[in-house]
């Protein structure tokens, strides 16, 4: 091991692992560090008591033609990566509680755009008429056809008012908003229509619900291994305490395992932890520091992991909701004041439906997520779980008969595993910096920081889209910037 590198990447989440592997591919000497014992960050796969699973539901959007496909192709690891794009007519279930109290289900393929029965099924599930369908089609038409300039112009328009401008029926608003809440984990009124439309387009064309053979974190593990196989080092269980800045430039990191030097440092630790904790205040321009302090984290997800002694559910990805379940700012404030919806928005990843080998023969793993607070200390999340489990017992009473282990989690676990809490109420956000107006599109923080040699990668900067896809997108874009800077320095 050498203590001097071309680039140091702090964090082997999907953003960091992607940049590190691509830099290694370009011939750079890479040090990739993570405080955890393996790569994958929020989407890592753990192995415990005979089961392999993520700590919470992680499924990908788009399912096909994604940045993950680009990554595994770039690294030549398609075969080991085993991207599982769901096939067949039973890939996704939308479970909707109608206003008359009846649960209806839409079960369909991963790509709704390829489902000839989608409109009939949506009409039937949501109880809407042909006039409503017409309005929905007008909205879909815009989703598919708006050009880049038109989309940029929607950076300051919230997705909820944008959808309402088409006059679509409340169940359609509920369906779209439930999906948007899960994709962005932010209040629907604040998600910019520009980001939402681009991502919904990916969902309808590329489908939803990709998973990976051996667990979702497998691709990040392979990317980290790629770094080692290409002359770099992957240090696990190593926490970065400080980014070293000399003469105004990032030049290395200090860790619990010693100091390491490189002319370029990339941080996957999150913009707020990086700027407010890892870099000394005097190295950061005051206005940048103040602006970073004001940034808003996304919402959190809290939930439960269920391990069953036999399969109960037969769809890999399930989203359950009513007209009341989705959150905009008003509804998020209402639940904080104790005013709860009839049923919460339930997201379930039945990961053994994708890869049965994750569990002992015939067992089933169901990972459930429910909208919650990003605050690791929030009491709200305990109530979120109670209400979520009551809804689950109502929808699938058989689960209770077969549970052999039940593991609840809240934003505190998310923060412990990944992002340090450095601002009040932040740390356990599901995705990262909130994808809301003022923090997205053209207002998205730049991956370049004001400190020369210091870049940000991951969901806070440099990419767009849903969760892990956004992290990998950022990983590609930041790798390109880093490689360009490295080549320019080598040429000089």
The contact set with ligand FAD (CB under 6 A) reads 10-16, 33-36, 41-43, 56-60, 239-240, 268-269, 301, 369, 414, 418-419, 430-432, 458-459, 466-469, 471
**Rounded to the nearest whole angstrom, what is the least distance from the CB of residue 45 to ligand FAD in the complex?**
12
Give whichever of 136 and 223 is closer to ligand FAD, judged by the CB atom. 223
**Alpha-carbon distance values, 109 to 92, 172, 179, 200, 302 (Å):** 6, 19, 16, 16, 27
**Rounded to the nearest whole angstrom, what is the least distance from the CB of residue 275 to ligand FAD in the complex?**
13
Per residue, the 3-state secondary structure of 267-315, as one string, reads: ECCCHHHHHHHHCCHHHCCHHHHHHHHHCCECCEEEEEEEEECCCCCCC
Give whichever of 139 and 266 is closer to ligand FAD, judged by the CB atom. 266
Contact 308/364 with Cβ under 8 angstroms? yes
**Rounded to the nearest whole angstrom, what is the least distance from the CB of residue 196 to ligand FAD in the complex?**
15
Other beta carbons less than 10 A from residue 258's beta carbon = 11
Peptide bond between residue 62 and the one before it cis (omega within 30 degrees of 0): yes
Give whichever of 395 and 472 is closer to ligand FAD, judged by the CB atom. 472
Give whichever of 230 and 305 is closer to ligand FAD, judged by the CB atom. 305
Three-state SS at 117? coil
Give whichever of 308 and 471 is closer to ligand FAD, judged by the CB atom. 471
Instruction: Identify the H or E element spanning 130.
Output: helix 130-145
**Rounded to the nearest whole angstrom, what is the least distance from the CB of residue 16 to ligand FAD in the complex?**
6
**Rounded to the nearest whole angstrom, what is the least distance from the CB of residue 138 to ligand FAD in the complex?**
29
Please give the Cα distance from 42 to 159 (Å, whole number): 26
Please give the Cα distance from 119 to 112 (Å, whole number): 9
Beta strands 300-308 and 51-54, pairing class: unpaired
**Rounded to the nearest whole angstrom, what is the least distance from the CB of residue 38 to ligand FAD in the complex?**
9
**Rounded to the nearest whole angstrom, what is the least distance from the CB of residue 137 to ligand FAD in the complex?**
28
Give whichever of 8 and 188 is closer to ligand FAD, judged by the CB atom. 8
Give whichever of 133 and 471 is closer to ligand FAD, judged by the CB atom. 471
Give whichever of 34 and 323 is closer to ligand FAD, judged by the CB atom. 34
**Rounded to the nearest whole angstrom, what is the least distance from the CB of residue 182 to ligand FAD in the complex?**
7
**Rounded to the nearest whole angstrom, what is the least distance from the CB of residue 407 to ligand FAD in the complex?**
13
Give whichever of 58 and 264 is closer to ligand FAD, judged by the CB atom. 58
Beta strands 211-212 and 103-108, pairing class: unpaired
**Rounded to the nearest whole angstrom, what is the least distance from the CB of residue 41 to ligand FAD in the complex?**
2
Three-state SS at 384? helix
- Name the CA dihedral angle for 82, 87, 90, 93, rounded to a multiple of 10 degrees: 60
Give whichever of 12 and 28 is closer to ligand FAD, judged by the CB atom. 12
Contact 212/218 with Cβ under 8 angstroms? yes
Residues 41-71, buried b or exposed e (16+ Cβ, 10 A)?
A: bbbbbbeeeebbbbbbbbbbbbbbebbbbeb
Please give the Cα distance from 390 to 441 (Å, whole number): 38
For the chain, what is the radius of gyration of the CA atoms? 22
Q: Which two tokens stand for residue 238?
A: 């190593």
Q: In degrees, to the nearest 5, what angle opens at C-alpha 229 toward C-alphas 228 and 234? A: 5
Mark out the alpha helices in 396-491 (DSSP H runs).
Answer: 397-402, 411-417, 467-491
**Rounded to the nearest whole angstrom, what is the least distance from the CB of residue 255 to ligand FAD in the complex?**
7
**Which residues, including other chains, have CB under 8 Å from residue 319's CB and lie 6 or more apart?**
92, 93, 94, 95, 178, 179, 182, 345, 346, 347, 348
**Rounded to the nearest whole angstrom, what is the least distance from the CB of residue 483 to ligand FAD in the complex?**
19
**Residue whose token pair is 């393929």:** 109
Give whichever of 308 and 384 is closer to ligand FAD, judged by the CB atom. 384
Give whichever of 16 and 86 is closer to ligand FAD, judged by the CB atom. 16
């Amino acid at each position: 091991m050498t203590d001097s590198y071309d680039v140091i990447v702090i964090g082997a989440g999907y953003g960091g692992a992607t940049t590190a592997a691509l830099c290694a591919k370009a011939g750079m000497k890479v040090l990739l560090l993570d405080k955890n014992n393996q790569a994958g960050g929020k989407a890592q796969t753990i192995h415990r008591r005979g089961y392999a699973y993520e700590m919470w539901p992680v499924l990908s959007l788009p399912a096909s033609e994604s940045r993950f496909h680009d990554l595994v192709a770039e690294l030549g690891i398609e075969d080991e990566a085993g991207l599982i794009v769901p096939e067949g007519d039973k890939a996704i279930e939308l479970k909707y509680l109608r206003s008359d109290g009846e649960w209806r289900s839409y079960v369909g393929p991963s790509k709704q755009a390829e489902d000839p029965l989608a409109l009939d099924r949506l009409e039937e599930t949501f109880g809407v008429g042909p006039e409503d369908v017409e309005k929905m089609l007008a909205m879909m038409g815009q989703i598919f056809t708006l050009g880049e300039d038109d989309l940029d112009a929607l950076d300051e328009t919230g997705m909820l008012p944008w959808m309402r401008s088409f006059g679509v029926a409340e169940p359609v608003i509920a369906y779209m908003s439930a999906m948007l809440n899960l994709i962005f984990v932010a209040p629907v009124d604040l998600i910019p229509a520009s980001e939402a439309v681009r991502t919904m387009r990916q969902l309808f064309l590329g489908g939803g619900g990709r998973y990976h053979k051996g667990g979702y974190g497998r691709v990040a593990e392979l990317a980290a291994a790629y770094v080692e196989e290409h002359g770099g080092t992957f240090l696990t269980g190593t926490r970065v305490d400080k980014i070293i800045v000399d003469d105004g430039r990032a030049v290395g990191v200090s860790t619990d395992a010693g100091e390491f030097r490189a002319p370029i440092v990339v941080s996957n630790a999150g913009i707020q932890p990086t700027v407010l904790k890892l870099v000394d205040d005097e190295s950061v321009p005051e206005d940048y520091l103040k602006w970073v302090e004001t940034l808003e984290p996304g919402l959190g997800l809290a939930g439960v992991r269920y391990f069953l002694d036999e399969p109960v559910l037969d769809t890999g990805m399930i989203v359950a909701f009513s007209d009341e379940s989705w959150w905009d700012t008003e509804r998020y404030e209402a639940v904080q004041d104790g005013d709860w919806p009839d049923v919460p928005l339930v997201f379930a990843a039945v990961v053994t439906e994708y890869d049965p080998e994750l569990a002992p023969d015939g067992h089933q793993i169901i990972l459930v997520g429910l909208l919650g607070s990003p605050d690791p200390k929030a009491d709200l999340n305990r109530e979120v779980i109670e209400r979520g489990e009551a809804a689950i017992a109502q929808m699938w009473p058989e689960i209770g008969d077969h549970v052999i282990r039940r593991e609840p989690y809240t934003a505190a676990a998310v923060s412990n595993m990944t992002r340090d809490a450095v601002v009040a109420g932040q740390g356990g956000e599901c995705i990262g910096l909130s994808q809301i107006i003022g923090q997205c599109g053209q207002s998205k923080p730049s991956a370049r920081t004001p400190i020369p040699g210091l870049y940000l990668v991951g969901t806070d900067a440099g990419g767009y889209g849903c969760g892990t896809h956004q992290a990998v997108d950022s990983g590609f874009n930041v790798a390109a910037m880093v490689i360009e800077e490295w080549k320019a320095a080598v040429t000089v």
